[in-house]
Amino acid sequence: MSLIVHIEKKLKNFTLKVDFESKESCLGILGASGCGKSMTLKCIAGIVTPEKGYIELNGKVLFDSDKKINLSPQQRKVGYLFQNYALFPNMTVYENIGVGIKASKREKDSIILKMIENFKLEGLEDQYPSKLSGGQQQRVALARMLAYEPDVLLFDEPFSAMDSYLKEELQILLSDLLNEYHGDAVMVTHSRDEVYRFCKDIIVLDSGKILEFGETKKIFANPRKVQTARLTGCKNISRAIRISDNQVEALDWGCLFTVKSQIPEKITHIGIRAHALKACHEPMDKRNLLPGMIYKIAEAPFEWNVLVQIEDNKNDTKKDIKTISRAKLFDETLVEEKNLFNLTNQKDPVVLWKISKSGLSSSFHENAPIYLTVAPEDILLLE
C-alpha cells in the first residue's frame, strides 16, 4: 500500500512542485494559508489536473502526463473530507452515507447501518444536513467517506471551523479511525498540534515547494529551515553567524551561544522554543545567557506567557521600547496565540518565555531584571 506523488501545477503566484511517497500511514502537509496544501489534495483526488507529473496509488497509475493517463475522481477510489464536508443538502443522513456504495441493496443497507452505529448517528438517519450541528455533519462526512472503502483518505483542514470542545471529541474519533484504517491518509493543516497528533510523517510546504519531509517528531525536534521552525511553533528566532564549530552569535540578541552539535556553514538563524528558556539566578558567564527585563506577563490557562526585553550582552546598552505599540502587539497576539511570529520580526530584541504556573516566582514582575538561559542541545540551528 503506497501513494506516490510527483507533480507540478501552475498557480497564480507560484508553481506547486511536490514529490513524495507515503506508505500505510497518515502523512501531514503543514503550511501557511495559500501555500498549495489543498491544491495537492485536489490533484491526488482528480479534481484538478496538474500540468505534468505522475500519481500512483497502490500500484495503480492515477495520473501520468507523459502517457496521457488521467483517471476521473470516480475511478480513483479516493475518500476526500472537504473543509465544508460537501454533504448533499437534498439527501438525508442515510442517503448521504450510501451515495458512493456500489453493492446490492442488502449489502448497502448493512454497510450504512454499520457506519451509523460506528459514528454514533443513531436517530439522525432521516435528518437533512441543514438540521445537523457541525460535529454531526463531520461525522456523516466521515461515515460516507469510509463506507465507500477508499484506497486513500484525504483530509482538508478537518477541524478548522470547530470550537475547542467539539474539536477534541472529533479528534479522538478520527484518531481511532486512523488507527484501524490500513491504508494511506494525507492530512492538510496549518495546525502544528494536529499534524503532531495524527501524522507519522510530515511535509512542510512553503509557496508550493517542500522545505522539509520526514518523520514528524524528528522535524519538530530539529527543524533545519527558519520557516519550518516557525510553523512548528518556535517563537524566538534570531539572525546568527557561525563563530566556531560549536559557537554561534545571535545578532538580534547580541549574545553568544554554545551548542551541542557542530554548526553547519550555511547557518543563517538560530531558534529557541519558548519552553526551553530557563531562569538563571547566578550566571557564571555570558554564554547561553539572555539578560533582560520582564516587559509583560500574561496568564494562560495552564502557564504564564512572559515577554522579556533583551539587553545587549556585549555593550549592556538597553534598547528603547515602544510601550504603546508593544502593548498592543502583546494584547492582540500573545494572549490568543495568533500571529505570534510577529514578535520575532520587531526591531526591539524581545523573546517569549513560557513557564508553568508553579514555576513563576513572586519576585517576577513587570520591569524586573532577569537572566534567561538555554541548554546547548535546545538551540535550533537554522538555514
- For the stretch 163-195, pLDDT in tens is 677 778 788 888 888 888 888 999 999 889 999
- Considering the domain architecture, whether residues 279 and 196 belong to the same structural domain is answered as no
- Considering the domain architecture, whether residues 275 and 296 belong to the same structural domain is answered as yes
**CA 294 to CA 378: how far, in whole Å?**
22
Q: Where are the beta strands (DSSP E) in 177-310?
A: 184-189, 201-206, 209-215, 236-244, 247-250, 255-258, 269-272, 278-279, 289-299, 303-310
pLDDT of residue 324: 27
- Considering the domain architecture, whether residues 177 and 266 belong to the same structural domain is answered as no
- Considering the domain architecture, whether residues 75 and 215 belong to the same structural domain is answered as yes
- Considering the domain architecture, whether residues 32 and 160 belong to the same structural domain is answered as yes
| pTM to 2 decimal places | 0.84
Q: Which domain holds residue 308?
A: 234-382
pLDDT of residue 86: 86
pLDDT of residue 78: 93
**Parallel, antiparallel or unpaired: strands 26-30 and 184-189:** parallel
Q: How many domains does the chain have?
A: 2
User: Cell 438540521 sits at which residue?
Assistant: 131
**CA 69 to CA 51: how far, in whole Å?**
12
Supply 78's cell numbers: 479516493
Instruction: Indicate the residue among 183, 201, 223 that finishes a domain.
Output: 223
Tell the burial category of 188 from Cβ atoms under 10 Å away from its Cβ (0-12, 13-18, 19+): buried
Whether residue 229 is contained in a domain is answered as no
Write out residues in the chain with pLDDT < 50, as ranges. 315-346
Whether residue 294 is contained in a domain is answered as yes
- Considering the domain architecture, whether residues 103 and 36 belong to the same structural domain is answered as yes
Instruction: Indicate the residue among 223, 254, 271 that finishes a domain.
Output: 223
pLDDT of residue 368: 84
Instruction: Indicate the residue among 154, 188, 223 that finishes a domain.
Output: 223
Among residues 212, 91, 196, 200, the alpha carbon closest in space to that of 140 is found at 91
Among residues 150, 114, 121, the alpha carbon closest in space to that of 138 is found at 121
Task: Please report, as a single letter, which amino acid is at residue 61.
Answer: V
